Amino acid sequence: MSNKRVLITGSSRGIGRAIALYLAPKDYDLILHFNKNKEAAEKTLQEVHALNGTATLLSFDISDREQTQKVLENDMMQNGVYYGVVCNAGIAEDNPFPILESDQWDRVLHTNLDGFYNVLKPIVMPMVENRIHGRIVTISSISGLIGNRGQVNYSAAKAGIIGATKALAVELAKHKITVNCIAPGIIETDMTKDLPIEEIRKIIPARRMGNPKEVASLVDYLLSEDAAYITRQVISVNGGMF
């Protein structure tokens, strides 16, 4: 029997890369999505292979509905329906609301929130029709739970992902497909490298930033058969920030 296929969007760096490397030794056939950074994606692929993992690359823009549907349907037709999907890809374009440009609002919403629909819409019915008791994990943010200064667009998109995740979980529960959301706090990635680290540590009860592996390990559990009775949940990984 072939390994279960798991799609990870935004897997070339940051949390997505950590998820790919954490899952590499497991019995999954990983589909590593990337959009523009092919070099980084190929490096992640090499690292997965070095860990004896099975993986292939898949390129598309999650904000492009037609392209995303075409690529995903073609991949499933050739290689089989997905068991798991980790919706991790996203962008941030921060600015105080009074000077937040309309295109910054649109890009963040189209990528982060529309991406939820664009990726999952072609995937869900094949999972149902093939009676796959699958797993869907979305990645939101602490910004989607409590809001954050200078991130009205990002907070709106990430809060929308939480609502969409909960609603989809209700629809798919009878099909034994779980849908859960992880809301990371301040995690050490490229997106946080320019933040005032010492000041941030003061507001985190754990007094440190999170490691991408700490998010990846939770994804691993939520994908597992042991997590079959966990659905419609939003789980924070934030060092006790709230």
Confirm if 42 and 242 have CB atoms less than 8 A apart.
no
Q: Would you tell me how many other CB atoms lie within 10 Å of the CB of residue 235?
A: 17
Give the span between the Cα atoms of 169 and 180, in whole angstroms.
7
**Three-state DSSP state, 136:** strand
* C-alpha distance from residue 142 to each of 33, 77, 156, 236 (Å): 24, 36, 11, 7
Out of 82, 154, 221, 229, which one is annotated catalytic?
A: 154
Give the span between the Cα atoms of 2 and 121, in whole angstroms.
24
Measured in whole angstroms, the distance separating CA 188 from the mean position of its chain's CA atoms is 16
User: Is 22 an annotated catalytic residue?
Assistant: no
Q: Give bridge partners of residue 29 from the DSSP assignment.
A: 5, 54
Name the residues annotated as catalytic: 154
